[in-house]
Amino acid sequence: MYKAVVFDFDGLIFDTESVHTTIYKEMFESHNVEFPFNEWIQNIGTKSTFSIYDLLEKEIKEIDREQLKKMNKEKLETRLNALKVRPGVEEILKEAQAMNLKIGLASSSDYKWVSSHLDRLGLLHYFECIMTSDDVAEVKPHPELYLLAAKQLGVEPEVCIAFEDSANGSLAAKRAGLTCVIVPNDTTKHLTFPEVDYRLSSMADCALVELVGKLSDRKSN
């Protein structure tokens, strides 16, 4: 019987990933260079030494990196302020509360980024714990974030459902022993995912009580 749900943040609750992708694509196009989409998406959901600016500089030899970063930051702030929560997210959160499920969050981003957006979106109060890169030595695809979230919620990983949108995130959830539901966004739908337990195109596609029933049936078979 499931006792908790743990959400990713970027790309799942709030599709910052597709906004970032569009901004970087525009940056490459403005320099008449093809955007390296396939290389870019492999780094979604984790933190690494990968730099999109290094790739652009490799193509055109010389860029005004600081000016580009400033311009992209301004674009990001404007577009995120107009961005809404992904469909079905708040409904799932409300259902989880009604079902007396514990609710946590595990993100490879830092706490300030996650909490400020959740607060602005009116979702912060739903979460009993928020685990971020500030709390762990290694982020996704390492399982540490999910293991810590389960521990903070006071439950075993085996009775938690993770909602993810990226390959790195779903790998972290499965490595930690959680049941994983993948809900790709417009960017991550192009990824190849590790073995997950269920896939939705949108959280609006299935009521939580129905989803829990399906996952429980699969677990018992």
Tell me the catalytic residues.
Answer: 8, 10
Residue 83 dihedral angles phi and psi, to the nearest 5°: -85, 140
CB atoms within 10 A of CB 22: 16
Contacts of residue 42, defined as CB under 8 A and 6 or more positions apart, other chains included, come to 167, 191
Contacts of residue 58, defined as CB under 8 A and 6 or more positions apart, other chains included, come to none
Cα distances (angstroms) measured from residue 76 to each of 58, 69, 72, 88: 24, 10, 6, 24
- CB contact at 8 A, 145 and 129: no
- CB contact at 8 A, 171 and 165: no
